[in-house]
């Protein structure tokens, strides 16, 4: 998505080969804005390099980090030497992300351009799969031994700061220990101290007396959802990631959390709509990937929905009786109300399943609350059904098509009104309670409740709805 003002300006400067102007452009604006201006389909990867290369290497790296992942990959493939230079200056989590997306050969070629420390760091971060806490982690955290005073600590930070992702939380680590095989194990996390506390503390206070020893930490192999949960519960700027021994592996900083929350919300929204989640941008996502994630669910729903054919055929036969039945005994007029009645179940069910699924995701309810949820949804469904019932009586009384009225025998008009209305109400209650209970059931067996997508609930409620409708109709008309 290009920038409406800056992209044209940039193109003019590129056309003129105005290096001074480009440098000024990259340095004066926020790197996110520069990246936005550069993210234009008209600009080739070479032109993007031409635009940022006049700027200092750190600025280049910042702008590059803000480009969309697909663009980064394209640039890394088309201009390896430049990317090789930038990689040493990129933040450690962003470069690990980039390399995770590149094909194996490209990674190998790039790694040859990088110095050894960076190579080790990239390999360490690269081992964590996408969707884990480890994949969000950066290794450039600020740390100190606990034996320094506050004043010494601030001096030390002055040295460390330019390279660190954040210096607002400083991690206090113990001596390095050796593993049985002689290699160095990660230093153990003893506590955390904020820069605010360091600044406020008397100069000679020891760090270990200042630090908070009860540190909230995550494991590298946890699901990234844990990051969102911890940040939103404790209002943190960063959270440390530790191994089994309590050794510090890295930290996850606040800027990655928003992305996680947005990505998780997108995933939930897509699941809820019956789309296997699609990574990344809607228009950039591969056609085949999108097709697969949609066709899978459409196919499953289609096959399940096929049951409605048999259910309909069964009840239709029952209502129609034998084929020789006289025309005036036919009950075909009942058919016209089916789409209306079925839609009520789908709508009420999708409301209930969405509310319950989201409440589970936000930890507002637990599976053990199912009795409360059931009671509430039943009551809610009953009052919603009452509302629809009133609408249904009104509709059927005033607006039933003449062709339907012509098929009714004398005295059957109110039968029709009650049959439709009771069916609407019954289907509404069934849809809402099924919609509310299924996500809880799926969570209870340890699966993602968002699997009970709205279309799936609608399909199940269609099958039940046809049975409810025809049984009520049979009661009034047979």
Question: Looking at 20, 406, 445, 478, which residue binds a copy of itself (CB under 8 A)?
Answer: 406
In the region spanning residues 219 to 248, those forming contacts with a copy of itself, defined by CB under 8 A, are 228, 231-235, 237
Question: Looking at 69, 109, 168, 370, which residue binds a copy of itself (CB under 8 A)?
Answer: 168
The answer to the question of residue 458 lying near a copy of itself (CB under 8 A) is: yes
Question: Looking at 126, 407, 412, 415, which residue binds a copy of itself (CB under 8 A)?
Answer: 407
In the region spanning residues 252 to 291, those forming contacts with a copy of itself, defined by CB under 8 A, are 254-255, 257-259, 261-262, 265-266, 268-270, 272-275, 278, 281-283, 287, 290-291
Q: Nearer to a copy of itself by C-beta: 120 or 292?
A: 292
> SS3 sequence, the chain?
CCCCCHHHHHHHHHHHCCHHHHHHHHHHCCHHHHHHHHCCCCCCHHHHHHHHCCCCHHHHHHHHHHCCHHHHHHHHHHCHHHHHHHHCCCCHHHHHHHHHHCCHHHHHHHHCCCCHHHHHHHHHHHCCCCCECHHHCECCEEEEECCCEHHHHHHHHHHHHHHCCEEEEEEEECCCEECCCCCEECCEEEEEEEHHHHHHCCCCCEHHHHCECCCCCEECCCECHHHHHHHHHHCCCEEEEECCCCEEEEEEEHHHHHHHHHHHHHHHHHHHCCCCCCCCCCCCCCHHHHHHHHHHHHHHHHHHHCHHHHHHHHHHHHHHCCCCCCHHHCCHHHHHHHHHHHHHHHHHHHHHHHHHHHHHHCCCCCHHHHHHHHHHHHHHHHHHHHHHHHHHHHHHHHHCCHHHHHHCCCCCHHHHHHHHHHHHHHHHHHHHHHHHHHHHHHHHCCCCHHHCCHHHHHHHHHHHHHHHHHHHHHHHHC
Q: Nearer to a copy of itself by C-beta: 30 or 179?
A: 30
Q: Nearer to a copy of itself by C-beta: 179 or 233?
A: 233
Q: Nearer to a copy of itself by C-beta: 172 or 416?
A: 416
The answer to the question of residue 366 lying near a copy of itself (CB under 8 A) is: yes
Question: Looking at 14, 29, 185, 217, which residue binds a copy of itself (CB under 8 A)?
Answer: 29
Q: Nearer to a copy of itself by C-beta: 233 or 245?
A: 233
Q: Which stretch binds a copy of itself (CB under 8 A): 9-17, 73-81, 113-121, 196-204?
A: 196-204
The answer to the question of residue 409 lying near a copy of itself (CB under 8 A) is: no
Smallest distance from a copy of itself to CB 105, Å:
30
Q: Which stretch binds a copy of itself (CB under 8 A): 5-13, 23-31, 53-61, 133-141?
A: 23-31
Q: Which stretch binds a copy of itself (CB under 8 A): 49-57, 81-89, 179-187, 380-388?
A: 380-388
Smallest distance from a copy of itself to CB 122, Å:
22
The answer to the question of residue 138 lying near a copy of itself (CB under 8 A) is: no
In the region spanning residues 305 to 324, those forming contacts with a copy of itself, defined by CB under 8 A, are 305-306, 308-310, 312-314, 316-317, 320, 323-324
Q: Which stretch binds a copy of itself (CB under 8 A): 81-89, 115-123, 126-134, 384-392?
A: 384-392
């Amino acid at each position: 998505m290009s920038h409406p003002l800056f992209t044209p300006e940039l193109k003019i400067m590129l056309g003129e080969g105005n290096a001074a102007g480009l440098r000024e452009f990259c340095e004066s604006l926020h790197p996110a804005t520069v990246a936005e201006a550069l993210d234009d389909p008209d600009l080739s990867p070479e032109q993007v390099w031409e635009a940022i290369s006049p700027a200092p290497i750190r600025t280049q790296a910042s702008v590059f980090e803000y480009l969309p992942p697909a663009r980064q990959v394209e640039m890394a493939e088309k201009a390896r030497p430049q990317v090789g230079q930038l990689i040493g200056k990129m933040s450690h989590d962003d470069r690990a992300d980039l390399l995770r997306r590149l094909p194996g050969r490209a990674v190998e070629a790039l790694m040859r351009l990088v110095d050894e420390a960076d190579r080790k760091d990239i390999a360490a971060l690269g081992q964590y799969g996408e969707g884990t806490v480890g994949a969000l982690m950066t290794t450039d955290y600020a740390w100190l031994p606990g034996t320094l005073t506050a004043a010494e600590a601030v001096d030390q930070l002055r040295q460390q700061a330019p390279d660190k992702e954040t210096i607002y939380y400083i991690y206090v680590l113990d001596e390095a220990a050796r593993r049985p095989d002689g290699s160095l194990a990660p230093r153990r996390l003893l506590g955390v101290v904020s820069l605010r506390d360091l600044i406020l503390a008397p100069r000679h206070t020891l760090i270990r007396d200042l630090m908070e020893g009860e540190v909230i930490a995550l494991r590298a192999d946890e699901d990234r959802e844990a990051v969102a949960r911890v940040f939103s519960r404790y209002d943190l700027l960063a959270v440390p990631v530790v191994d089994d021994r309590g050794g510090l592996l890295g930290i996850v900083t606040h800027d990655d959390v928003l992305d996680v929350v947005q990505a998780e919300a997108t995933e939930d929204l897509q699941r809820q709509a019956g789309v296997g989640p699609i990574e990344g941008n809607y228009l950039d996502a591969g056609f085949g990937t999108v097709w697969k994630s949609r066709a899978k669910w459409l196919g499953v729903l289609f096959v399940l929905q096929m049951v409605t054919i048999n259910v309909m055929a069964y009840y239709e036969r029952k209502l129609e009786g034998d084929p020789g039945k006289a025309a005036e005994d036919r009950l075909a007029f009942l058919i016209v109300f089916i789409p209306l009645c079925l839609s009520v179940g789908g709508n009420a069910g999708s409301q209930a399943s969405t509310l319950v699924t989201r409440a589970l995701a936000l930890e507002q309810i637990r599976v053990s609350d199912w009795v409360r949820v059931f009671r509430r949804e039943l009551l809610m469904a009953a009052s919603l059904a009452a509302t629809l019932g009133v609408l249904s009586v009104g509709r059927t009384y005033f607006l039933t098509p003449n062709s339907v009225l012509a098929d009714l025998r004398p005295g059957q008009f109110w039968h029709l009104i009650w049959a439709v209305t009771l069916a609407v109400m019954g289907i509404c209650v069934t849809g809402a309670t099924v919609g509310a209970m299924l996500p809880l059931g799926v969570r209870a067996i340890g699966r993602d409740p968002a699997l009970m997508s709205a279309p799936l609930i609608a399909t199940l409620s269609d099958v039940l709805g046809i049975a409810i409708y025809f049984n009520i109709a049979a009661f009034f008309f047979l």
